[in-house]
Amino acid sequence: MNKIGKKKSLWLLMIILSQFLISQCSSPQESAPENSISEAPAKDLASVILRVGPKEYTNADFAAYLTMSVGKGREELPLEALNELVINFVEDKLLLAAAEQKGIVVTWPEIKSYLARMKANLSTTEPIQTSEELESLKEALLIEKYIETVVADVEVKEDEMRRYYQEHKRDFLLADRVQVSQILVNSEEKAVELRQQLQEADEQKFREVARQNSLGVEAAQGGLMGVFEMGQLPYAFDKVVFTLEEGQLSRVIESSYGYHIFRLDKKIPAELISFDQAKEKIRIKVLEIKIKNRLQEHLQWLKENLDWIFLPENLTFPYQRKKQ
């Protein structure tokens, strides 16, 4: 692989790793209030819930993990989410132990770069305020660097991409589409008047009138809205636009935005995206799948080989093992 190819692969790998780690830290879906857990007694926070080698982690550590990763306390989260997050917590600590055993370290420039990425990808923009928060970020970066070593040799071959394409052809089938333009005005009288003017007009004339009269955001483009499949426009527009012939104008349609005149510029029949057209998208998708599989396999290996014990009976909420 040449230098450019290697750089591109590393860039893609970083994107996928970032998505994986951020997804681990994403806010879980809310459940009904009755599934929430009330505030735990303070004495329970000191209970050890996980031992990895000589290190012990308590409910207080898990509470800090929740705040840092999802921005919420235990009492704000449904039970199902807590069960998933505590497993993520355990797996993170196993990865951290493996990173430390491997001698991986992080530098301050790496921490600053990581903070910039976190700010760009997460909704929170709050600065790091405590040493505990900084330590948590250092641990997250250690884990990320360790994962990079685990998946560094993952690559996607041509035959894997072709096999994925053959097995997922439906994903690359484009439905019937239409190219649509519109003129939007604020009165029915104006819309009727313009439609009368455009009855026998060609596309060029329509675009001139749209630029001069339309209030739509696409007026500068001569009213060109774009290409749409059925269901991508509001239903009231869909049922009119998709009955038109090429070059035909719609009747005047009223909406909360004003009065619309649609023009169907072109019909585009259904087609299958070729392998060559889809190749880069497929490569990223297959790479993502292979990285996730490698990580799951490696996590299983760590669980079987590291010295660790999980103590769910000490949690401040009723732990339920996830069904396989």
Answer yes or no: are the C-beta atoms of 95 and 17 closer than 8 Å.
no
Per residue in 124-166, pLDDT (tens digit) is 556 666 777 788 888 989 999 999 999 999 999 999 999 999 9
- For residue 249, the 8-state DSSP code is B
The answer to which of 52-56, 74-78, 138-142, 225-229 has the lowest mean pLDDT is 74-78
Phi, psi of 73 (to 5 degrees): -85, 170
pLDDT value at 232 more than 80: yes
Nearest partner of 291 among 129, 154, 164, 109, judged by Cα: 154
Phi, psi of 46 (to 5 degrees): -85, -5
**How high is the mean pLDDT of the chain?**
86
Buried b (16+ CB within 10 A) or exposed e, 22-40: eebbeeeeeeeeeebbeeb
pLDDT at 323: 62
Nearest partner of 62 among 304, 320, 312, judged by Cα: 312
pLDDT at 25: 44
CATH 1.10.4030 in the chain, residue ranges: 3-157+281-314
Considering the chain, what percentage of its residues have pLDDT values greater than 70?
83
CA atoms of 272 and 277, how far apart (whole Å): 10
Nearest partner of 182 among 249, 228, 242, 236, judged by Cα: 249
Token pair in block for residue 41: 């007694």
CATH 3.10.50.40 in the chain, residue ranges: 176-269
196-209 average pLDDT score: 96
Rank 14-23, 36-45, 137-146, 227-236 by mean pLDDT and report only the highest: 227-236
Per residue in 175-196, pLDDT (tens digit) is 999 999 999 999 999 999 999 9
Answer yes or no: are the C-beta atoms of 290 and 157 closer than 8 Å.
no
State the CATH class of domain 176-269: alpha beta
Q: How confident is the model at residue 101 (pLDDT cuts 50, 70, 90)?
A: very high
Token pair in block for residue 295: 């990580």
Fold of 3-157+281-314: Triger factor/SurA peptide-binding fold (1.10.4030)
pTM over 0.75: no
Q: How confident is the model at residue 12 (pLDDT cuts 50, 70, 90)?
A: low
pLDDT value at 59 more than 70: yes
Sequence-distant (6+) residues with CB within 8 A of 321 are: none
CA atoms of 64 and 1, how far apart (whole Å): 43
Considering the chain, what percentage of its residues have pLDDT values greater than 90?
70
285: which strand partners?
none
The answer to which of 114-118, 268-272, 304-308 has the lowest mean pLDDT is 114-118
